[in-house]
Structure 1
Amino acid sequence: MKLISTIILIFIASTCNTPVEKKAKQKEILPVEVNAQDGLERAYFASGCFWCVEEIYESVQGVQEAISGYSGGNTENPTYRNHADHAEANEIIYDPETVSFKTLVDVYFASQNIEQVNGQGPDIGESYRSIVFYQNNEQKKIIEDKITALTNEGYKVAAEVKAFQKFWIAEEYHQDYAKLHPNQGYIQGVSIPRWRKFASKMPEVIKSSVRH
């Protein structure tokens, strides 16, 4: 009798666990790795307003360009007026011989309020949430090691860590916005102070030609 009961329990346990295991496997999302072009690689970050982030990264040695756009969601063809589940994000085009992905991650956390959930500064909502994207296991480990270090320092890190899938370029008028509109109210009141705060933390990575 005990033997039959044991067999039944084992069967029930295995039956219950199987769908959960399958469900877990189905949820796993593999990252998309973007190939280097002309020796330049690409990294992706979301950290509040993309105008601010673009300006920050374009001031970093080894970064050729930062492009504003949308990432982190599933909506096709997002726009500024309707990017739904995407966050404002930036594509960072950089020379790995000059600046490493690890340094870009350091820049990311040095240039934001690490603990702010769903926003940065005055920009509030899921569209402004912080996300660090990885394209392979090496990048994922770099990000996770940085978050572990920050956690050990006492920070409650708000940034999500996500497998990169796709980056959608934002409308043309968003590109180089801070550079083209240096006297605009938001740029003067938010972007420039945010950049200066970052620059004071990592002056060694700033291009000599950049001044504010």
Structure 2
Amino acid sequence: MKIVKIPFLVLLLLVSTSCQSKTKSNKQEPTQKEQKESFELLGLFSEELQNYETAYFASGCFWCVEAIFESVKGVKEVYSGYSGGKKKNPTYEQVGRGLTKHAEAVEVFYDPNVVSFTELVQVFFGSHDPTTLNRQGPDRGAQYRSIAFYKNDTEKKIIEDYIAKLEAANVFGKPIVTEVKAFDKFYRAEDYHQDYEKNHPNNPYVQQVSIPRLNRFKAKFKSYLKEDAH
């Protein structure tokens, strides 16, 4: 039997509302004091960021992933870092050598009044290949694996429901191997990794891998982009 594939953007429109869930989380949210301390550690104005939510994703080289999410309207800031493992305060060298079980990941600060968690999940799956195990493009190893992190039951259901929709429509033609993982800790990467693609446009990897990946995303998600990202 021939399987009819639904165009990816059409599928996004079909499932964007169905993935929303009203399931109440049983996980305790951080207190206002904890949020304020966290924001101050980031060197940002707590009054401003108290209205922003956070989301965490891993989908290959964080230089690429950071640039993609920073182009999305409603996203205030994105940081490159490490998550998914157990080692405290990992370094780039340790993660790159596969010694920590962490993946290169990003922390996304976003305004839920402008962009929803569901839409960020759509951006995540629409900007990488979630069918390649421990690999993304030329980058190989568990540190480049695909992970969608959730902080509560609502986010978990949104991710799982969206994966089910993608697989039911055979969008990628192969099984999705993305980990759906409870968020634990995010360790921000060394300063030189932050805004790397923007600050090093002539880097060979950026030229050959990061920028083409960003441009492919922009071509598919024009309505999701900030005005200055077109």
Question: What range describes the TM-score normalised by the shorter chain of this pair?
Answer: 0.7 to 0.9
Structure 1 position 180 matched with structure 2 position 199: yes
Letter in 2 for 1:188: Q
Q: Unmatched 5+ residue regions in structure 1? A: 1-29
The aligned counterpart of 1:15 is none
What is residue 43 of structure 2 aligned with on the other side?
A: none
Partners of 2:78 and 2:27 in 1: CA distance: 21
Q: Secondary structure at the match of 1:82?
A: helix
Q: Percent identity?
A: 53
Which residue number corresponds to residue 137 of structure 1? 153
Quickly say closer, same or farther: Cα 1:117–1:137, change in 2 above 3 A: same
* TM-score, with structure 2 as normaliser: 0.76
* 2:9 corresponds to: none
Amino acid in the other structure paired with 1:82: Q
**Which residue of 74, 87, 95 maps to 1:62?**
74
Cα deviations across residues 131-159 of structure 1 (Å, max 9, x unaligned)?
A: 00000011001000110011102241111
Change (3 A) 1:33 1:73: farther
| Residue of 49, 74, 77 corresponding to 2:61 | 49
Structure-2 change in CA distance of 1:188 and 1:143 (3 Å):
same
Secondary structure of 2:93's aligned partner: coil
Match of 1:78 among 81, 90, 94: 90
Q: Which amino acid aligns with 2:176?
A: V
User: Per-residue deviation at 1:210?
Assistant: 1.4
| Structure 1: distance between partners of 2:67 and 2:181 | 23
Residue 189 of structure 1 is matched in structure 2 by 208
| Separation (CA, whole Å) in 2 of partners of 1:188 and 1:31 | 42
Match of 1:162 in 2: 181
Unaligned runs of 5+ in 2: 1-25, 36-48
Name which of structure 1's ranges 102-111 and 178-187 shifts more when overlaid on structure 2: 178-187
Shift of 1:114: 2.2
In the alignment, the residues of structure 2 paired with residue 197 and residue 90 of structure 1 have an alpha-carbon distance, to the nearest angstrom, of: 19
Provide Cα deviations, 1:59-95, integer angstroms capped at 9, x if missing partner: 0000011100000011111110113210000000011
Q: In structure 1, what is the Cα distance between the partners aligned to 2:28 and 2:61?
A: 24
Q: How does 1:1-212 map to 2 (within 5 A)?
A: 37-83=49-95, 84-154=100-170, 155=172, 156-211=175-230
Query: Secondary structure of 1:57's match?
Result: helix
Q: Which letter maps to 2:220? A: K
Kindly indicate whether the alpha-carbon contact (under 8 Å) linking 1:68 and 1:91 is maintained by their aligned counterparts in 2: yes
Number of residues paired by the alignment?
Answer: 182
SS at match of 2:92: coil
Change (3 A) 1:31 1:167: farther
Change (3 A) 1:152 1:34: farther
8 Å contact from structure 1 (residues 50, 89) kept in 2:
yes
What amino acid maps onto 2:114 in structure 1? T
Instruction: From the CA coordinates, give the structure whose radius of gyration is larger.
Output: 1
Match of 1:26 in 2: none
| Distance (Å, rounded) in 2 between the aligned partners of 1:95 and 1:34 | 17
RMSD between aligned residues: 1.6
Q: C-alpha offsets along residues 102-138 of structure 1, whole Å, 9 cap, x if unaligned?
A: 0000000000012111121001100000100000011
Distance, in Å, in 1 between the alignment partners of 2:30 and 2:210 is 29
With normalisation by structure 1, the TM-score equals: 0.82
Q: Retained in 2: the 8 A contact 1:32–1:165?
A: no
